[in-house]
Amino acid sequence: MTGLIIRRLIQLPIILLVIYTITFFLAWSLPGSAVLNDEGRAPDPKIMEQIEKQYALDDQGKFYTQYLDRITGLRWARLNLQGRGDEAPYVFDFGPSFKFEDWNVNQIIGDALPVSIVLGLGAITIAVIIGVTAGVIGAVKPNSWEDVATLAVALVGISLPSFVTGTLLLILFPVVLNVGTVAGWGRASDILLPAFTLSLPFAAYIARLTRMGMIDELHSDYVRTARAKGVAQRSVIMKHALKNAFLPVLSYLGPATAFAMTGSFVIETVFSIPGMGQHFVDAVLSKDLFMIMGVTLVFAGMLVMFNLVVDVMYRWVDPRIE
């Protein structure tokens, strides 16, 4: 287990470097100027030239190495060794945001990530509860009306885009029933609707995974043995079959959690939530180079970490796995 963790942690920086390089070339090749506003007046060309020099926007190679120097913490270490630590406020410095001039990318991600994590955790929790319950019901009574009903709901959950379900829920709860809030973040009631909307596709997938797993397990020899021994149905399902049927769900949960936690552009836009998701899209549309790099690297890092966490959990739930 320790070996696995160490191996993965050594891989992490290599993966990140590859991702940084690819993202850098893609982002750099985006058309348009990174420092020019989308609307309004264009600053004096002399001033534009200054800012482009400042961030090495006029020199691809220089930009690549300068930024690498900042995000790896090398610059921080060097400046601190030289006794100029106050010039480097962050160990891993993602740089400024071009669009939101009063914030740097570290602050933006620092603000947005916890929001997305809460929303994602909430959504995954709801998805697991709904999905596993529906999957078990479907598996215990295959092809019954309950099974067909959960299948139908799961299909709707996967197929309906979240801007439709989100908007419908917004109109149904806060507007018509006067329950919950339309926009905002902070109160527990702000979390429920978006988390539920975000959970639907995950819940649907988990329901199908659980159902398939459960049907397999319920037909297996050890379940038949348990039943022959007179173990109660409830105990067979909860104690024996579900435990094994949950494994595929667990392996799905790794990437699913990472995806849910790094934010959803649509959900965050519809519910006006200050999370990570909108930054992915906004940053690309406004060619906010540092922002693109920052959010991509954080997302990649989280993806790797979550896969590691799931692998560890996997072994913990099922010690047979090596």
Partner 1 sequence: MKKVAAIVGILFAALALIVISDRTLPPAELTVINRSEFNTVDPQRMSYLHDLRLAYSIYEGLVRWDNMSEDFAIVPAAAESWTVSDDGLEYTFTIRENAKWSNGEPVRADDFVFSWRRGMLPDTVADYAGFFMHIEGASDFLDYRVDQLSDYAELPESEKSAERAAALYDEALAYFDANVGVTATDERTLVVRLERPIAYFLDLAAFGVFSPVNPDLVRSYRVFNPASGRIEQSVDWTKPPSLVTNGPYVPVSWRFKREMYLERNPHYWNQDAVKSDTVEIIPINDPNTSVLAFETGRADWNSDVTAPYVADMLDAKAAGEYNNIHAFSTFGTYFWSFNCTPKLSDGRDNPFHDAAVRRAFTLAVDKNDLTDNVKRSGEKPARVFVPPGSIPGFENPEGLPFDPERAKAELESAGWLDRDGDGVPENSSGTPFPVVEMLYSTGSYHADIALAMGRMWEEHLGVQTRLVGKELKVYRDDLKNQRFMVARGGWFGDYGDPTTFLDLHKTGDGNNDRGYSNPEFDALLERAAAETDPEARMALLEEGERWMMDEELPILPVWHYNYYYLFRPPVDEDGMPNPGGLRGISTHPRLVQYLWQLEVVTEEEAEAARRAAGATASASTDEVGP
Of residues 69 through 98, those in contact with partner 1 by CB under 8 A are: 84, 86-87, 89, 96
Find out whether 120 and 262 touch, Cβ atoms under 8 Å.
yes
In the list 9, 238, 255, 321, the residue contacting partner 1 (rule: CB under 8 A) is: 238
Q: Does 51 bind partner 1 (CB under 8 A)?
A: yes
In the list 219, 239, 255, 321, the residue contacting partner 1 (rule: CB under 8 A) is: 239
Q: Which of the ranges 16-24, 140-148, 211-219, 242-250 carries the binding residues for partner 1, by CB under 8 A?
A: 242-250
In the list 13, 85, 142, 184, the residue contacting partner 1 (rule: CB under 8 A) is: 184
**Among candidates 183, 170, 193, 163, which has minimal Cα distance to 267?**
163
Query: Token pair of 31, please?
Result: 């058309």
Query: Token pair of 125, please?
Result: 């929790």
Query: What is the DSSP track for 166-229?
Result: HHHHHIIIIIII--S-SS--SSHHHHHHHHHHHHHHHHHHHHHHHHHHHHHHHTSHHHHHHHHT
In the list 16, 20, 99, 298, the residue contacting partner 1 (rule: CB under 8 A) is: 99
Q: Which of the ranges 31-39, 141-149, 197-205, 297-305 carries the binding residues for partner 1, by CB under 8 A?
A: 31-39
Q: Does 183 bind partner 1 (CB under 8 A)?
A: yes
Q: How far apart are CA 293 and CA 66, in angstroms?
A: 13
In the list 3, 31, 61, 230, the residue contacting partner 1 (rule: CB under 8 A) is: 31
Q: Residues 110-149: x/- map of binding to partner 1 (CB under 8 A)? A: -xx-x--xx--xx-xx--xx--------------------
Q: What one-character DSSP code corresponds to residue 15?
A: H
Q: Does 320 bind partner 1 (CB under 8 A)?
A: no
Query: Among residues 37 and 159, whose Cβ is nearest to partner 1?
Result: 37
In the list 72, 133, 251, 269, the residue contacting partner 1 (rule: CB under 8 A) is: 269
Find out whether 100 and 108 touch, Cβ atoms under 8 Å.
yes
**Near partner 1 in 195-234, by CB under 8 A:** none
Query: Token pair of 1, please?
Result: 């287990």
Sign (positive or negative) of CA dihedral 287, 291, 294, 299? negative
State in angstroms the smallest separation of the CB of 113 from partner 1.
11
Q: Which of the ranges 9-17, 179-187, 200-208, 293-301 carries the binding residues for partner 1, by CB under 8 A?
A: 179-187
Find out whether 232 and 309 touch, Cβ atoms under 8 Å.
no
